[in-house]
Structure 1
Amino acid sequence: MFRPLSVFIGLRYTAAKRRNHFISFISLVSMLGLILGVMVLITVLSVMNGFDRELKQRILGMVPHAVVESREGLDDWRSVADIAAQDPDVVGVAPYTQAKGMVTGRGQVQGVMINGIHPQKEVDVSIIQNHMVTGSLANLESGSFQIIIGTSLARRLGVGQGDRVTLVLPEASVSPAGVLPRLKRFTVAGTFSVGAELDSSYTLVHYQDAAKLLRLGDKAQGIRIKVNDLFKAPMVADRIAQELPGNRYRTTNWTHTHGNLFEAIRMEKTMIGLLLMFIVAVAAFNIVSALVMVVTDKKADIAILRTMGMTPRGIMGVFMVQGAVIGVGGTIIGTLLGIALAMNVSGVIEWVESVLSMQFLSADVYFISYLPSELQWNDVMIVGGAGLVMSLLATIYPAWRASRVQPAEALRYE
């Protein structure tokens, strides 16, 4: 099979056993460094993608994508919901009433966010039903004053399903006995588990019970909207507000409440990727030192090839092929190992935890209790392409040095 002479000689040099074992060792270290750098970079980026996915699914599965509300409350929330539901980008609409307060039980007190919901419509805009530990949203009936709390809050208060707790609002009521805080006894109808922060500060009651507690009558504070594309939420909310009669409506969306969090995650992913890319760059440019030593070791061979008629460009091609074998081989192997590890990192961490009998991400401390991973092929292509480009660039200077070797000088002492 015909091959260009430079490729043929370069591959022979790569496969041949060198007299200088130190050069072989440096070449091996360069390839291993490139393999590890590419593998770790793909794995870390996949884990960052996994955390980003989990946060979007959990946080944005609980908080509204967009909200339409009024300062006076919505006594006609059903007509507003009907108008919002007609938007082609809207997949779910539900009323809500929200307030800050405290919940007490068995002598313990915890500040919480009180969320009044419509049990049947809440499943259209929230993932809470999929994370119920005990009870169900259907247990929330108007007038029954039932409450659903997170598992962390239930443990802190020492209560469970069927127990009684007291909701305390920061507003005071004037009575013959003096100024008293507004409070109401509720029965725990169920518990849920979504994440550490929400499990300790998020409570659910029927929106009509919340309205009675807040003295809103039959009004809802607003409607929650779920859209099919998160990034369309601001546009969809503004579009719905323009279709509603009057100017008493205002809108908010998840970019106002949690946008900074996801911007921080994206920036962190970029910075970590950049720092790890420097590791790949160091490993790639180790090829320079390996090839420089190879050129020094092969000066006599280079001189012989030149006297036999090989051009400087051909000599340069020989050593570029030799360096490219190290770079391309290391990048391909590292990419394959990185893909394999990224797709199985959760199982690997679980195995390590079982061997060491410890848990790295405790559910009581961290929002996510396992190491998620989401392999994105554009990350793989960027990392693999960058590794190939850097390793090929690293071969240029040593190969150029080889092409500048003068045969007479190289053979003088041979």
Structure 2
Amino acid sequence: MFKPLPLFIGLRYTAAKRRNHFISFTSLISLIGLVLGVMVLIIVLSVMNGFDRELKQRILGMVPHAKITKVYGTISDWESLIQQMEDSPRVISAAPFNNTQGMLTSNGRVQPVAIYGVAPDYEQKVSIVNDHMRAGKLADLKPGQFDIVLGDIVARRLGAQVGDKVTLVLPDASVNPAGVFPRMKRFNVVGIFEVGAELDSSLAIIHFQDAAKLLRIKEGVQGIRLKMVDLFTAREDVGKLANTLHDRYYYSDWTRTHGSLFQAIQMEKTMIGLLLTLIVAVAAFNIVSTLVMVVTDKQSDIAILRTFGASTKTIMGIFIVQGSVIGVSGTLLGVILGVLVGANVPEIVDWIERTFEIQFLSGDVYFIDYLPSQLQWSDVGIITVAALSLSFLATLYPAYRASRTQPAEALRYE
């Protein structure tokens, strides 16, 4: 079968045993370095993609994509406003809310929380909280009964379970003849949610009518929460919607409360990707030293080929093939291992945690308590092309140096 001469000799040199075992050792080190570099780059970017996905699904599934509040007073005709918002093609659904802050006390413990008043029927359309109820359900919130749903971490810190009572202390005071006293209200715990994010430690949910009583709102609600079609155009979309309303409304979106978190994740992904690409570059350019030693070791063979009429292009092709074999083999092995590990990071980390009884991420410290992963084939493709390109570039100088070998000089002392 016909084979081009550079390919035939290059593959034969690659498979042949070395007279100098150190060259074989450096070739192996170059290969392993490239495998590890590509594998680690795929795994780390998969984990960063996983964090980005969890942020979108969990945190942005709980906090409003956008919200509209009146500049002065409350929204009395909130039902008609919700219908108007949902008629927009940029809005999926809408729900009313009242919110405030306070401290919950139970069993001698105190926990600061954000109190979010919702309409259960509407809230299920804009929030994922009902899908992450550990006990009870959102529909258990009944107006006038002062029921409350707690985040899992809030409940644990207060030592509260479903059926217990907790006391809410509001950040204002009531004055009576006996003096000034903080405003307090007893609530019945009817549910506990766990979304695996920081909101588990800072959020409590009550019925919006109960929240209105606490806030002394006579009618209406404080604002309307919107679930948008496109998260990344939420600011522009909600601005256009607010401008179509007759009264003066203030609008905001998720980028004001959690935008910096997403920007930090994207910046970290970019910087880590750049740093790990440099590691791949270092591994790829180890091929340079390996091929330089091979060229030195094969001086007499190169000289003989030149005397038989091999051109400089043929000699360059031989060593480009030999270096490319290392680059292609290392890259493919790295991609295979990286894809296998990157796609199964949560299971691997879970096994390590159970086997060695350690925990990498604590839900009390981080916004999630496990290591997520999302393998994106676009990242794999970019990494593969980058690694192959760097490996090919690393072969050019040694191949050029081999092509400049002078037969007379190389064979003088043979």
TM-score by length of structure 1 reads 0.98
Tell me, yes or no, if the aligned pair for 1:83 and 1:244 is still in contact at 8 Å. Answer: no
Note the aligned Cα RMSD (angstroms). 1.1
Q: Deviations over 1:40-73 (max 9, x none)?
A: 1001000010011111111101100000111411
Match of 1:24 in 2: 24
Match of 1:171 in 2: 172
How far apart are the structure 1 equivalents of 2:314 and 2:197? 64
CA, structure 1 residues 348+355, in 2 after alignment: closer, same or farther (shift >3 Å)?
same
Matches within 5 A, 1:193-212: 193-195=194-196, 197-212=198-213
Q: Deviations over 1:287-329 (max 9, x none)?
A: 0000000000000000000000011111111101100000111
Matches within 5 A, 1:329-344: 329-344=329-344
Matches within 5 A, 1:164-313: 164-195=165-196, 197-246=198-247, 248-313=248-313
How far residue 357 of structure 1 moved from its aligned partner, in angstroms, is 2.4
Indicate the SS of the match to 1:394. helix
How far apart are the structure 2 equivalents of 1:301 and 1:154? 77
Match of 1:9 in 2: 9
Indicate the SS of the match to 2:340. helix
How far residue 164 of structure 1 moved from its aligned partner, in angstroms, is 1.3
1:389 equivalenced with 2:389 (yes/no): yes
CA, structure 1 residues 259+196, in 2 after alignment: closer, same or farther (shift >3 Å)?
closer
Say how many residue pairs are matched. 413
How far apart are the structure 2 equivalents of 1:115 and 1:373? 31
Indicate the SS of the match to 2:125. coil
Match of 1:378 in 2: 378
How far residue 163 of structure 1 moved from its aligned partner, in angstroms, is 1.3
TM-score by length of structure 2 reads 0.98
Larger mean Cα displacement after TM superposition, 296-305 or 231-240:
231-240
Tell me, yes or no, if the aligned pair for 1:196 and 1:365 is still in contact at 8 Å. Answer: no
Tell me, yes or no, if the aligned pair for 2:98 and 2:208 is still in contact at 8 Å. Answer: yes
How far residue 218 of structure 1 moved from its aligned partner, in angstroms, is 2.3
Q: Post-superposition, which runs of at least 4 consecutive aligned residues in structure 1 deviate over 3 A? A: none
How far residue 368 of structure 1 moved from its aligned partner, in angstroms, is 1.6
Indicate the SS of the match to 1:182. strand
How far residue 193 of structure 1 moved from its aligned partner, in angstroms, is 1.1
Tell me, yes or no, if the aligned pair for 1:116 and 1:207 is still in contact at 8 Å. Answer: yes
How far residue 175 of structure 1 moved from its aligned partner, in angstroms, is 1.4
Match of 2:87 in 1: 86
> Which residue identity lines up with residue 43 of structure 1 in the other structure?
I
How far apart are the structure 1 equivalents of 2:356 and 2:184? 48
Match of 1:68 in 2: 68
Indicate the SS of the match to 1:360. coil
> Which residue identity lines up with residue 190 of structure 1 in the other structure?
G
Tell me, yes or no, if the aligned pair for 1:302 and 1:407 is still in contact at 8 Å. Answer: yes
Indicate the SS of the match to 1:74. coil
Tell me, yes or no, if the aligned pair for 1:66 and 1:237 is still in contact at 8 Å. Answer: yes
How far residue 196 of structure 1 moved from its aligned partner, in angstroms, is 5.3
Indicate the SS of the match to 2:222. strand
Match of 1:132 in 2: 133
How far residue 88 of structure 1 moved from its aligned partner, in angstroms, is 0.8
Matches within 5 A, 1:48-63: 48-63=48-63
CA, structure 1 residues 196+256, in 2 after alignment: closer, same or farther (shift >3 Å)?
closer
How far apart are the structure 2 equivalents of 1:371 and 1:93? 32
How far residue 354 of structure 1 moved from its aligned partner, in angstroms, is 2.3
Match of 2:324 in 1: 324
How far residue 366 of structure 1 moved from its aligned partner, in angstroms, is 2.8
How far apart are the structure 2 equivalents of 1:16 and 1:151? 63
Match of 2:356 in 1: 356
Larger mean Cα displacement after TM superposition, 99-108 or 390-399:
99-108
What is the percent sequence identity of the aligned residues? 61
Match of 1:398 in 2: 398
